[in-house]
Copies of this chain bind each other. A is one copy, B any other.
Amino acid sequence: MTVSTADDELWAGAGPGSRRLLQAALAAFAARGYHGASTRDIAAAAGMSPAAVYAHHRTKAGLLFAISEAGHRHSLTVCERALAEETTPVARIRALVHDFTAWHARHHQLARVVQYELDALLPEHRNRITELRHRTERLFRHEILAGVEAGDFRTDDVDGAALAVLSLGIDVSRWYVPGGPRTPVGVGRLYAGLVLTMLGTSHASAAPAG
């Protein structure tokens, strides 16, 4: 999948003008933080007047929510798609961790803003984002538990293991530098292997098929 296809899917539902505005807001929030970026900054970056921003029915808070929702929905979709292709617990966790991790490398700027600005969301927006986060968290917990029940994973604390696995993937957005020694897929492969070992799967059974 190319970056531009991924971006098409990410901003699905936003028209071209709206997408330009969302991308300008994302760049402004990434550079100066939500509180440090003004609506005027965002309009200028999108090549629009502040009045044109309001014509899109967008406030700064609304832009942050739209960005956060797009990011959370897209990463959840990527997780669900990864799972749809695999059946065994080991293969499912490998695909899930690989794709979730690679997503956070590929969309590191978006993911950073989404994660760092949760507290800046309006309460009604935050509730909807929290719901998406809980769906993602349940998905990881469910897969780890299925692996424990199948005898493939060994862990005394499924919630703790899920917390660590999610945290590893999300934090890629903090440290990932494009053009550095590791590609999104490279980090995905590294983390899928480390997580399988962490979940108590032996190296032999965890070796990728291909």
Interface on A for B, CB 8 Å cutoff? 31-37, 115-116, 154, 157, 160-161, 163-164, 167-168, 170-172, 174-175, 182, 190-191, 194-195, 197-200, 203
A203 CB contacts on chain B under 8 angstroms: 154, 200
A194 CB contacts on chain B under 8 angstroms: 160-161, 164, 198
16 new A-B contacts, CB < 8 A, other than A32-B35, A198-B198, are A32-B36, A34-B36, A35-B35, A35-B36, A35-B37, A115-B174, A154-B203, A160-B194, A164-B168, A164-B190, A164-B194, A167-B174, A168-B168, A170-B174, A195-B198, A197-B197
A191 CB contacts on chain B under 8 angstroms: 164
Q: How many copies does the complex hold?
A: 2
Q: Could you list 13 examples of A-B contacts with CB < 8 Å? A: A32-B35, A32-B36, A116-B116, A157-B190, A160-B182, A164-B191, A164-B194, A167-B167, A167-B171, A167-B172, A170-B174, A198-B198, A200-B203
Nearest CB to that of A172 among chain B residues? B167
Separation of A190 and B163 alpha carbons in the complex (Å): 10
Separation of A33 and B161 alpha carbons in the complex (Å): 31
Separation of A200 and B199 alpha carbons in the complex (Å): 11
Nearest chain B CB to A8 CB, angstrom units: 28
Separation of A203 and B198 alpha carbons in the complex (Å): 11
Grouping DSSP codes into helix (H, G, I), strand (E, B) and loop, the A interface class, with mixed when no group exceeds half, is helix
The 6 closest A-B pairs by CB, nearest first: A35-B36, A33-B33, A198-B198, A171-B171, A36-B36, A32-B35
Separation of A198 and B197 alpha carbons in the complex (Å): 5
A33 CB contacts on chain B under 8 angstroms: 32-36
A170 CB contacts on chain B under 8 angstroms: 171, 174
Nearest chain B CB to A206 CB, angstrom units: 11
Separation of A172 and B168 alpha carbons in the complex (Å): 10
A163 CB contacts on chain B under 8 angstroms: 175
Separation of A182 and B116 alpha carbons in the complex (Å): 21
Separation of A143 and B174 alpha carbons in the complex (Å): 24
Nearest chain B CB to A106 CB, angstrom units: 17
